[in-house]
Amino acid sequence: MRSEPVKPARADFYLDLGLSKDATRTDIRKSFHALARLHHPDKKAPAQTVDAVEFRQVCAAFEVLGDEQEKANYDEDYEKIKAEWQNYRRKMRRWERWIERERRHKEAEDVAEKKDAEE
C-alpha cells in the first residue's frame, strides 16, 4: 500500500492568508483580521476543531509576515517553501486518486463475491 505524502516542514504563510508574496503590510493585516474573525474558536461550536487549527495557522502566518524582519527572513526561502508545497499537493492528488481506485476495485471485488455466493 502506498503511504500518504508527508507535509512539508515549513508552512506556506502566504497561502494560509490567501495572499501572494507581493502583498503589502496592509493586505497582510486585513487578511489576518478577516481570517481570524472567521476561524476564531470562540465563534464556533466546541466540536469544530478544524477552525481552531486554521486559526492557529493564520496566527502563525501573521506573526511572521506581520514582522518586517521575520518576513524578510521568510521571503529568502519562500520560493523553496512554495515549491515544496506544490510538490506535496501534486503527490497528495495522486495519492487520493490511487485511494479512490483502490476503493472502487475493492467495491467491485465485493460485488463479484456477493454475486458468486448467491449463485
Q: Tell me the average confidence (pLDDT) per consecutive run of 10 residues in the chain, 119 residues long.
A: 89 97 97 92 68 90 98 97 97 96 93 82
Question: Minimal CA–CA distance to 59: which of 17, 7, 26?
Answer: 17
> Quick one: fold of 13-118?
Helix Hairpins (1.10.287)
Q: What pLDDT, on a 0 to 100 scale, did the predictor assign at position 13?
A: 98
Q: What pLDDT, on a 0 to 100 scale, did the predictor assign at position 82?
A: 97
Q: What pLDDT, on a 0 to 100 scale, did the predictor assign at position 45?
A: 64
Q: What pLDDT, on a 0 to 100 scale, did the predictor assign at position 119?
A: 72
Q: What pLDDT, on a 0 to 100 scale, did the predictor assign at position 102?
A: 94
In the chain, what are the helix, strand and coil shares in percent, each to the nearest 5?
75, 0, 25
Pull the grid cell for residue 37: 474573525
